[in-house]
Structure 1
Amino acid sequence: MAMSHGSVRKMVAKKGLFFPIVGVATLITFIYMSFGGDFSVTNVFMQQHYSFVKVVGHQFMLDDKPFYINGWNSYWLMDHAAGESSRPRVKEMFQSASKMGLTVSRTWAFNDGAYHALQLSPGHFDEQSFQALDYVIAEARRNGVRLIFSLVNNLQAYGGKTQYVQWAWQEGLGISSSNDSFFFDPTIQTYFKHYVKTVLTRKNTITGIEYRDDPIILAWELINEPRCMSDPSGDTLQDWIKEMSEFIKTIDDKHLVTIGLEGFYDSKSSKASINPSKFSTGLGTDFIRNNDIPTIDFASFHMYPDKWIEDNLDEKLEFVKKWMSSHIEDGEKQLKKPVVLSEFGMSSHTKDFEPSHRDKLIKLVYDIMYKSAKRNKAGAGSLIWQFVVKGMEEYNDDFGVIPWEMQSTYNVIVAQSCKLARLHGPSDLKGSLRDVCLRSQQ
């Protein structure tokens, strides 16, 4: 059948569009087959290059340059990622933090037997919750924020070591009903090792990367705030730290490992007098001894002056100076490792509390860490406890802050991000951080 000139032009136009589409489809098919069929278009855009953070001496290094942490805690990320209505809060948190120049978030990679449990029972996992953790990692990658994942809780929140002990006891395998049996019961150790291996070898359903191969994860934290009061000598906890950190390294030798200590010194330590109370000397922990293990890559500690010290604000801030300086000195002179203040904050329930008091605490912490970084010392950064977003009243505690709704606090945080980024030249001010820092100077 004869065709008009108009029909020919339309056909040529369609072919001009058709061939590029075929070419793109062919390319995607080729990539798909190259990945052995394990491929999604999303993965192509998720493969932004990130290098692993390493430890050289007493400093973090990233791409042959010192790396400093200005970060925060949001323990709730996986829990909220598991719910369709609450998931947008995770995205909001990472996007807002990235705009503030924050580099690291510490969060829970555990939920044992509780609501939205990741581990339903020993060796049994909830795929929906695991996909929520996948989502947390994916959003961190999208926003250039690295993660410190804590693997179990010393406290009962989200299951913790209490849940492990109950599981063993219910199965008739536990050798003690004491919560501290978590650290020495062979059955419980088997439970925990299986859990750790499952997490480390998990293949992210969004990025396609195994957790142990993903550099957006900065470190594995063994346990949040461990205590073993049944053995004040510290030997039980020391043996557990050594065994579990060595176990992680057999599965994953790319990531850093830390403990998750509060930072107290043992009663026999020459630094016991620096502890906030006599009670803190009998918890079966010692900051220097516990961290002086080859498979522990950096030391971390916590600080809550308004909970630990019953003095006025000025005296609490004096304690902050001594507490931080002591631990940074430990990293510098004894441990030869970086030191991170991985939790600190001020409660809004403190008597005579004012938001300006929290700002003073944050600025003091930042100044001490910046001074250490500027002198290439062991102080590697800090993480505020904690940040939340709107609509989280039931998850918020008396330490929670929405920093972008508090201008004075926001300014202090952004100023620290800019100062740390400028330490090694203006070239480190990139993207949205550059714009934020330029505005903060105006």
Structure 2
Amino acid sequence: MKFDRRGLLASAAAISLAGCTTLSPSSLSRSPRRAIVVRSGAGFSRGGLAYRIVGANMWYAAWLAADAPFGDRDRLRRELDRLRSLGINNLRIMASAEEGPLTNSIKPGFTRPDGSPNPALFEGLDRAMAEIGSRGMTAVLVLSNFWEWSGGLQTLLWRATGEYMDMGDPAHPWPAFADATARFYANPQARELYAAHLDRIVSRTNSITGRPYAEDPAIFSWQLANEPRPGGSDAAIAANVADYRDWIESSASHIRELDPHHLVSLGQEGTQATNGSEDIVLTAHRQMDYLTAHIWPLNWGWVDGDDLSGTWSEGSGLTHEYIAAHERLAGQLGKPLVIEEFGFPRDGESYDPAAGTTFRQRFYATIYDAVERSVRSGGPLVGSNFWAWNGEARAQHGDYRFVDGDRAYMGDPPHEPQGWYGNFDSDADMLALIRQHAEAVLPRTGPT
């Protein structure tokens, strides 16, 4: 059975845990203060030392950290310890989720259907950031989503207009959802709702550490949204691009007024988000501190999940081309580049943790080799975040689907098959590859 990700086209190997102790609020607040990461030319630095990213996506960190029936703080600590033992020093997590009528959006959200905040998730984010910071790690905090799985911009439009479109609705085939969601940029009321959440998060003081978010060295960057696009069709992109740029630049300015210390990023996929337009990518990143790129060969039709061996060569070539193009764009901007999402299916496009990862390993090696070459040569590509971390979670149902009420959160969001792209704690070969890359890129003193 095949599933569409975004409408585009053995326990013995588990990582041993170290120090999975419960940290009290007071002990977290006394953790040694580390410098905030800053941009230094076409790279990053922290406390005067070069800072490179060996990262993972773990969107659900605030949910695990919540003091609520859906939370699991012990698991959060175990997962963070596993990741840190691999050399992971950066996580990309959701700092937003908007409840509403969309079929496949996660519930609960940071904001309820009426827009009111849900304290459990705000406090969950506080706890997650305290735990991340106590391990010397940093996090990208994502402030909304172009896609439906966390509510996102489509839900903000619904709150503003009373109208919405479900992703994957047969009555509205691609690119209808993307075109409809991109109307957000020109809607003043929807943008005010977005800005209200931005205010709540960026101006927040962490209830665990007592530290304002604006001063927290565990924050790597504020990110405007996950994969914000100006539209899906060429016509919609042309109609929306001016409002898209205005939203980007006004939102970045707003964040910097509230927090002049941290980096600001967009969360864009790169030219895949702009139907090939490099100019839109360049202008969208004028006010950003670094360029982002995402790479999804299966979703984008570069490989066939049923014939990975037969289509690997073409997919690999297109991946190399995409990386090179975005390194060039980053060079034009004189800013760092992070490939902050990249994913590949298991062998046979299986969702079973027991299935092999032969081609996934090849794909990850392609990304990691590019980062390592760039680091050696002083190039702009200074890190990556794989999609995503499943850890000890396992699918709860035989059809690998997520059902409202499930609590075994994994990197595959609720609209996707559980186990499609995420790495499990039992994926020995994948974990060895990640660890090897961390050893090649990070200082020998460790992931910090």
Q: Secondary structure at the match of 1:125?
A: coil
Q: Could you tell which deviates more after superposition, 351-360 or 408-417?
A: 351-360
The answer to whether structure 1 residue 398 and structure 2 residue 398 are counterparts is no
Choose the corresponding residue for 2:440, options 406, 419, 424.
419
Choose the corresponding residue for 1:343, options 341, 344, 353.
341
Determine the C-alpha separation between the residues in 2 that align with 1:260 and 1:142.
25
Determine the C-alpha separation between the residues in 2 that align with 1:57 and 1:182.
33
Q: In the alignment, what sits opposite 1:290?
A: 284
Q: Which has the higher contact order (CA 8 A, sep 6+)?
A: 2
Q: Secondary structure at the match of 1:347?
A: coil
Does the C-alpha gap of structure 1 residues 407 and 303 become closer, same or farther in structure 2, counting only changes over 3 Å? same
Aligned residue identity for 2:158: Q
Matches within 5 A, 1:372-411: 372-393=374-395, 394=402, 395=410, 396-402=418-424, 404-411=425-432
Matches within 5 A, 1:211-222: 211-222=213-224
Determine the C-alpha separation between the residues in 1 that align with 2:189 and 2:244.
16
Segments of structure 2 that go 5 or more residues without pairing to the other structure are 1-23, 100-105, 164-178, 305-310, 396-401, 403-409, 411-417
Q: In the alignment, what sits opposite 1:56?
A: 40
The answer to whether structure 1 residue 131 and structure 2 residue 131 are counterparts is no
Determine the C-alpha separation between the residues in 1 that align with 2:349 and 2:121.
39
Determine the C-alpha separation between the residues in 2 that align with 1:43 and 1:351.
41
Q: In the alignment, what sits opposite 1:430?
A: 445
Aligned residue identity for 2:315: K
List 4+ stretches of structure 1 deviating above 4 A: 349-354
Does the C-alpha gap of structure 1 residues 181 and 154 become closer, same or farther in structure 2, counting only changes over 3 Å? same
Structure 1 contact 92–389 (Cα < 8 Å) conserved: no
Structure 2 contact 52–382 (Cα < 8 Å) conserved: yes
Determine the C-alpha separation between the residues in 1 that align with 2:299 and 2:132.
31
Identity within the alignment, %: 22
The answer to whether structure 1 residue 301 and structure 2 residue 306 are counterparts is no
Q: Secondary structure at the match of 2:87?
A: coil
Q: In the alignment, what sits opposite 2:399?
A: none
Deviation of 1:286 (Å): 2.9
Structure 1 contact 89–389 (Cα < 8 Å) conserved: no
Larger radius of gyration: 1
Does the C-alpha gap of structure 1 residues 99 and 265 become closer, same or farther in structure 2, counting only changes over 3 Å? closer
Determine the C-alpha separation between the residues in 1 that align with 2:153 and 2:279.
16
Segments of structure 1 that go 5 or more residues without pairing to the other structure are 1-38, 172-176, 268-279, 422-427, 435-442
The answer to whether structure 1 residue 115 and structure 2 residue 107 are counterparts is yes
Structure 1 contact 264–285 (Cα < 8 Å) conserved: no
Aligned residue identity for 2:72: S
Structure 1 contact 55–61 (Cα < 8 Å) conserved: yes
Determine the C-alpha separation between the residues in 2 that align with 1:41 and 1:391.
30
Higher helix share: 1
The answer to whether structure 1 residue 71 and structure 2 residue 55 are counterparts is yes
Choose the corresponding residue for 1:45, options 30, 44, 56.
30
Matches within 5 A, 1:250-399: 250-264=257-271, 280-281=275-276, 286-291=280-285, 293=286, 295-308=287-300, 309-310=302-303, 312-332=311-331, 334-348=332-346, 354-393=356-395, 394=402, 395=410, 396-399=418-421
Determine the C-alpha separation between the residues in 1 that align with 2:28 and 2:86.
26
Structure 1 contact 342–382 (Cα < 8 Å) conserved: yes
1:82-127 deviation line (CA, Å, top 9, x unaligned): 2455332221121111111111000111011252221125652111
Determine the C-alpha separation between the residues in 1 that align with 2:433 and 2:202.
36
Matches within 5 A, 1:145-294: 145-170=137-162, 178-229=180-231, 231-233=236-238, 234-264=241-271, 280-281=275-276, 286-291=280-285, 293=286
Does the C-alpha gap of structure 1 residues 170 and 232 become closer, same or farther in structure 2, counting only changes over 3 Å? closer
**Number of residue pairs the alignment of both structures matches:** 366
1:241-282 deviation line (CA, Å, top 9, x unaligned): 111111111111111011111111688xxxxxxxxxxxx348
Structure 1 contact 388–401 (Cα < 8 Å) conserved: yes
1:126-153 deviation line (CA, Å, top 9, x unaligned): 1111111111101101222100011001
